[in-house]
Structure 1
Amino acid sequence: MKSALIVVYGIALSLSSYAQSTPGNNDLSRHDFLYAGESHERRIFIIRGGKIVWSYSDPAGKGEISDAVLLSNGNILFAHQFAVEEITPEKKVVWRYDAPAGSEIHTAVPIGNDRVLFIQNGAPALIRIVNKRTGIFEKEIPLKTKLPVNVHPQFRHARLTSAGTLLVAHMDLDKVVEYNSSGEEVWSFPGTHVWGVTPLANGNVLITDSVGVREVTHRGDVTWSFTPQEAPGCKFDNLQQAWRLPNGNTVIDNWVNEWSSSPTQRSLQLLEVTPDKKVVWALHSWQPPLDLGPATTFQSLDTPAELEKLHFGELY
């Protein structure tokens, strides 16, 4: 195979058949976004105008960053396995909750300005809502798991919907479940090692598992899907989350496990595909000064999102 490789500030793009099979640009300036990943360095980045405008790292810390969101006040709420915390742009910790011994926290979302909803992997696993101002846990809902003592693979991702329900990716039970605020199951859909779940504006659900990404209706119909086999020029490792952009395209992240392998210049971080599955952006940014590290979570900042306006039942 004929191949030429150009590396510009850590963004590598092959000019061979790889480039031809992944058209589009490999440029940080394509979107403004928040980016974080499970890695040794525990890093978070905000990218605007193609530049890293803010970054956070905690290489001496414990755990891995599995989820992170930019709040409307500019703070970052993130879960890193053994704690969930909120930091300011100046990196001051303004709130933190440490996971009890034998438990883990891999996902967290805001409810209003004062509350945080997170899932605590454990025995039992719990949906927990805490008031940051008072420190009081205002709601706890037990969740079923495959093996309660095997905490790590229970859950990775959950998101609130505009209907006031919660979508939960049951990684160890191989399904997505939608819960109301009473803890009742109102909808479910099967998957394989389900990692990510994203509610869409049309009421459908975007599910990411080890097979690929699917858009699913509440009737159980798959209206759109993508698998790694449909982008043969890309090197996939572990699909974790997916996000639907306002233009109808879908951004998918691909995580490289630093604990078992090392990324290469071909290791994929983010992939943007059109509704007809044409690849228009494939990000490989691994070298200083633009080394973003492994990808686990992405939040588009092209269109402001007021995540705090979502609610869980009566809790706003």
Structure 2
Amino acid sequence: MNTKFIISVVVSLLFINAFSQNKKETLSKDKGLSKHPFLYVGEWDTRKPKEQSMFIVRDGKLDWQYSIPMKTATGAIQEFDDVTMLSNGNIVFACMSGAGIITPEKNLIWEYHCEKGTETHSIQPIGKDSVMMMLNANSAKILIFNTAENKLLKEILIPTTNTNTHGQFRHVRITNKGTIMVPHLSENKVVEYTMDGEAIWSVKSKSPWAAIRLKNGNTLISGDRSQYTREVNPKGETVWELTQKDVPFTLYNTQTANRLANGNTVITNWCAGIKNTEEWANTVQVFEVTPSKEVVWKLSSWDNPDLGPSTYIQLLDEIGNPDNGELQR
């Protein structure tokens, strides 16, 4: 056999092996930061006892960050639970001990402080100048504020049997029909209420953290510690569900889900229930799946930037106006 030919083959094989190895190393270092621009928050990052942060990532890099103290001056706990960037760039957020609106320049232009014994983990914009909040309390209620005038427009009492306010509710959303989807976290059910507080639909769901009414009329429910994301039809029948058996990485608390315009679903995977924080770096924070449950994107960024545990994400390249509930999130 020709010696030059043998040498050529060996060199080619070495090149291919080196290329493959470099590709593997590149893939292993890929944090998933470049797939979408996004706004990101996660509750209860215990590694950072002094402050909690929200982040904007663009072009694979940290573009903006805003932080608040872990505790208020009166000792109330703060953690980012809910967030929406409006079309004007302002950001509406809930942080357990209250809520606010922050400008891109980090000016706090509206804020709400929860009274002792109450909490809010949920806020949704209604246009640019109003918001809906869920107030966990022993008289739990929906609050609708005109934020431009700091005026309370409406209160809607929400019945609950749970006197432990922290476990009552998380993400609450207005539907495109003007009703309100309320996941009763500790009561294992999702209930749809009118603006007058009348219950008109419900479904049993274990530990529901969030529930959104989809454009197809179905409801997408996030099962938190029960580790499911489930779509049910108006009869309450499950028509789509993702659980641990469907993904090749560990699910922890599936707190929220977005249904994208292309039919894919983006799910947050909150890991802060793991007490050993050294284990967090091996977890997937957010992932996107097709209707057939193929994973097309996953985020795992625990350094440069360290985004922390994942509770809620807004993809900034998604079509639709975030001010009026067009996004399925």
**What TM-score does the superposition give when structure 1 sets the normalisation length?**
0.86
Instruction: Indicate conservation of the 8 Å contact 2:218/2:234, yes or no.
Output: yes
Structure with greater proportional helix content: 2
Please tell me whether residue 31 in structure 1 is matched to residue 36 in structure 2.
yes
Alpha-carbon separation, structure 2, partners of 1:160 and 1:171 = 17
Q: How many residues align?
A: 290
Alpha-carbon separation, structure 1, partners of 2:105 and 2:319 = 21
Q: 1:283: which partner in 2? A: 299
Please tell me whether residue 52 in structure 1 is matched to residue 62 in structure 2.
yes
The percent of aligned pairs where both chains have the same amino acid is 41
Q: 2:128: which partner in 1? A: 113
2:172 maps to amino acid: A
C-alpha spacing 1:239/1:136, structure 2 compared with 1 (3 Å)? same
Shift of 1:229: 2.1
Q: What does the per-residue CA deviation read over 1:80-121, in whole Å, with 9 as the maximum and x for residues that have no partner?
A: 000100000111100000001110000001112221110100
C-alpha spacing 1:60/1:212, structure 2 compared with 1 (3 Å)? closer
Q: What does the per-residue CA deviation read over 1:252-305, in whole Å, with 9 as the maximum and x for residues that have no partner?
A: 111011683314332120111111111122221101x22111000011211243
Report the structure number with the largest CA radius of gyration: 2
Q: 1:180: which partner in 2? A: 194
2:55 maps to amino acid: F
Question: Highest relative contact order (Cα 8 Å, sep 6+), 1 or 2?
Answer: 1
Instruction: Indicate conservation of the 8 Å contact 1:39/1:258, yes or no.
Output: no
Instruction: Indicate conservation of the 8 Å contact 2:221/2:229, yes or no.
Output: yes
207, 213, 216: which one pairs with 2:229?
A: 213
230, 233, 240: which one pairs with 2:255?
A: 240
Question: Gaps (5+ residues) in structure 1?
Answer: 1-5, 14-24, 312-316
16, 35, 43: which one pairs with 2:53?
A: 43
Shift of 1:60: 4.6
Q: 2:205: which partner in 1? A: 191
Structure with greater proportional strand content: 1
Question: Gaps (5+ residues) in structure 2?
Answer: 1-23, 46-50, 72-76
Instruction: Indicate conservation of the 8 Å contact 1:12/1:285, yes or no.
Output: no
163, 172, 176: which one pairs with 1:158?
A: 172
Structure 1 range deviating more: 250-259 or 169-178:
250-259
Instruction: Indicate conservation of the 8 Å contact 1:194/1:208, yes or no.
Output: yes
Structure 1 range deviating more: 136-145 or 260-269:
260-269
C-alpha spacing 1:264/1:133, structure 2 compared with 1 (3 Å)? closer
CA RMSD of aligned residues (A): 2.0
Q: 2:78: which partner in 1? A: 63
Shift of 1:174: 0.8
Alpha-carbon separation, structure 2, partners of 1:50 and 1:175 = 38
Alpha-carbon separation, structure 2, partners of 1:56 and 1:67 = 14
Q: What does the per-residue CA deviation read over 1:11-45, in whole Å, with 9 as the maximum and x for residues that have no partner?
A: 956xxxxxxxxxxx752111122111003442111
Q: 2:218: which partner in 1? A: 204
Alpha-carbon separation, structure 1, partners of 2:134 and 2:203 = 19
Please tell me whether residue 81 in structure 1 is matched to residue 96 in structure 2.
yes
Alpha-carbon separation, structure 1, partners of 2:69 and 2:112 = 19
2:139 maps to amino acid: P
Alpha-carbon separation, structure 2, partners of 1:274 and 1:95 = 38
Q: 1:18: which partner in 2? A: none
Alpha-carbon separation, structure 2, partners of 1:26 and 1:259 = 21
3-state SS, counterpart of residue 34 of structure 2: helix
Q: 1:129: which partner in 2? A: 144
Instruction: Indicate conservation of the 8 Å contact 1:39/1:293, yes or no.
Output: no
Alpha-carbon separation, structure 1, partners of 2:313 and 2:216 = 20
C-alpha spacing 1:107/1:7, structure 2 compared with 1 (3 Å)? farther
C-alpha spacing 1:211/1:290, structure 2 compared with 1 (3 Å)? closer
Q: 1:90: which partner in 2? A: 105
Instruction: Indicate conservation of the 8 Å contact 2:231/2:239, yes or no.
Output: yes
Q: 1:272: which partner in 2? A: 288
Q: 2:74: which partner in 1? A: none
3-state SS, counterpart of residue 113 of structure 1: coil
